[in-house]
Chain A
């Protein structure tokens, strides 16, 4: 067996991993601030995918162009979910939050099955079959665009949290909830805002993913699990960690798929997860508790 890997395979892993990373970033944002593990995260991503698919089919909108619209809708949905349901369980035992969000996830999957059916749907864009050819490197155009968009959104989020007053307020609330209350911050509002931002990020990641993966409702649990793996590997609550985790999972899957058996791709993700849990439980860029 040859152990040389074509550069295209590595590039594909990197590009795919960046989109995975953006999806997980939404999960990380929510956990980092609200301290709620969003079991419906994959479902929100798939809602974003269907949003992009519907806009492509009925309005002829490219998923890249549809992303802001989908993000706005999912921001509102995330806000409402936090205000209407999750806020009522803040401070209650964690298992109640898990069950609530797992229930929301199941409802969303079944709703999507009822609305869209079980079949995979593809979004057709004009450049769906195009590639950039740079010497021996053949880069799938949709992956390049999706990865660039993912980096842009992640960069924007990073700037929002580090440079804006609202972002800093949310971070302050994440660091010390009691302190935030003492200085008069509206914590439930900030939580809702954060859940909205996390959902919007997941929605954008869903739009980008639509360019690479056919959408079907049963993809959702798989994406939730993938999100968990990525944030645990990268470090729960760390934005950069989520992107790094996504990159690692994307590249390791591509390597495993190419060098070993493609059917063992998922095994590598889980292997990486177990290794991180054993050697660095807080994740690569997470803070030790």
Chain B
């Protein structure tokens, strides 16, 4: 099996073109077999989707599921039938582990998931034990690809890369607006993701020569009922900038408390975490949610694949908001894309064949901002980029890098009062 001769950029092709290309690529056409015979042989890839569709991460998990559904439909058009075996991890690592076992028992040839680092770590152990590949859609804890697993492939930045990109974008923001904060306070949820981000920020700040001094780091319970004490503590530091690593609910509570306690720093920036662009964030906070910035990997507005996904999303899920779902949809789509690409190049859906093909992944045409998807020897894609996404008129808007910017950044943020 040679990767080069079958690396067809599939999403640019119509179905008929793709079939021809695939036949040529696998070399079977030359053998004189009819297309239908070949398609019948190896064209159903059973993808075990592990997502938190209920429980604490349900909103994000359901967004990821929509990405998987679109991927199954669009990628199946390309001659490989993608069959999703869906499992709900219920936002619980133990459930994620047992569901992964069940999916493999049910015939899943590749696992995709699992949104949260803790859940993904549990699934990775199962995948490794059974020799079934796991393509991570979203999970940032560095150790996932540092433990020598043969079966784990991650198309998502590590928390260190996320934070490195996020901090670099902060410098760009200060430069672009010519306003630089002197002090900062960091706030982290005490879950796996939050703590991985904390470790990354603390490790990178001294290296990156950031212009501000961190006055305090505040950890809070990721399932906290409210963040009044936490925000009071942050306010008491008098910091110019709040750097917050949040999820959906705590992002809402954080901003709500900042408004109530009349704490208006120069800016509120996430160095690579979700929350500020969730649908619920806009619904609950309205205009109070504007001007916060998320420095996160983002959909590439110039990607043709991204445009196809957006069209499919708006058609299939008219009651949902694409902009709020784009991050989860994009990365989950890409994870399924990676799996199907491997199956196509391997000419087989057998997990062993997929495992052999995955290290040779090279996908220049994809959805998220960044270099072509490819994996280092540890199974990590190091080319995923980030954008500064600022909420403007209750819509996530790319403001940096300048080459992709839809609007100029606003920094410092305007006063809370008078916005409602």
Contact = CB atoms under 8 A, between A and B. Distances in A.
B259 interface: yes
Contacts of B221: 262-263, 265-266
Interface in A126-143: 128-131, 133, 138, 140-141
Contacts of A120: 248-249, 252, 280
Interface in A253-281: 253-254, 256-258, 261-263, 265-266
A131 B58 CA distance: 32
Contact of B262 (A138, A141, A261): A138
Contact of B233 (A113, A129, A212, A262): A262
B288 A129 contact: yes
Interface stretch (A95-103, A188-196, A213-221, A237-245): A213-221
A8 B233 CA distance: 11
Interface residues of B, number: 37
A12 B229 contact: yes
A155 interface: no
A122 B225 CA distance: 12
Contacts of A141: 260
Contacts of A265: 221, 224, 229
Given A118-B56, A263-B220, A265-B221, A129 B229 contact: no
Contacts of A16: 226, 228
Contact of B230 (A6, A257, A266): A257
Nearest to A15: B228
B256 interface: yes
A262 B226 contact: no
A261 B229 CA distance: 10
B416 interface: yes
B324 to A, nearest CB: 13
B76 to A, nearest CB: 29
A179 interface: no
A177 interface: no
A113 to B, nearest CB: 7
Contact of A12 (B228, B262, B280): B228
A156 interface: no
A258 B229 contact: yes
A129 B261 contact: no
Contacts of A253: 229
B30 interface: no
Contacts of A222: 223, 225
Contacts of B284: 122, 124, 214
Contact of A218 (B55, B219, B280, B288): B55
Interface of B: 54-56, 58-59, 91, 190, 218-221, 223-230, 232-233, 236, 248-249, 252-253, 256, 259-262, 280, 283-284, 288, 416, 420
20 contacts: A13-B229, A118-B54, A120-B249, A120-B252, A122-B252, A122-B280, A129-B256, A129-B416, A129-B420, A131-B262, A138-B261, A214-B253, A218-B55, A257-B230, A257-B233, A258-B232, A262-B224, A262-B227, A263-B190, A263-B219
Interface of A: 6, 8-9, 12-13, 16, 113, 117-120, 122, 124, 128-131, 133, 138, 140-141, 212-214, 218-219, 222, 253-254, 256-258, 261-263, 265-266
Given A124-B284, A133-B262, A219-B225, 13 more contacts: A9-B232, A117-B54, A128-B256, A131-B260, A141-B260, A214-B284, A222-B223, A257-B232, A257-B233, A258-B236, A261-B218, A262-B229, A263-B221
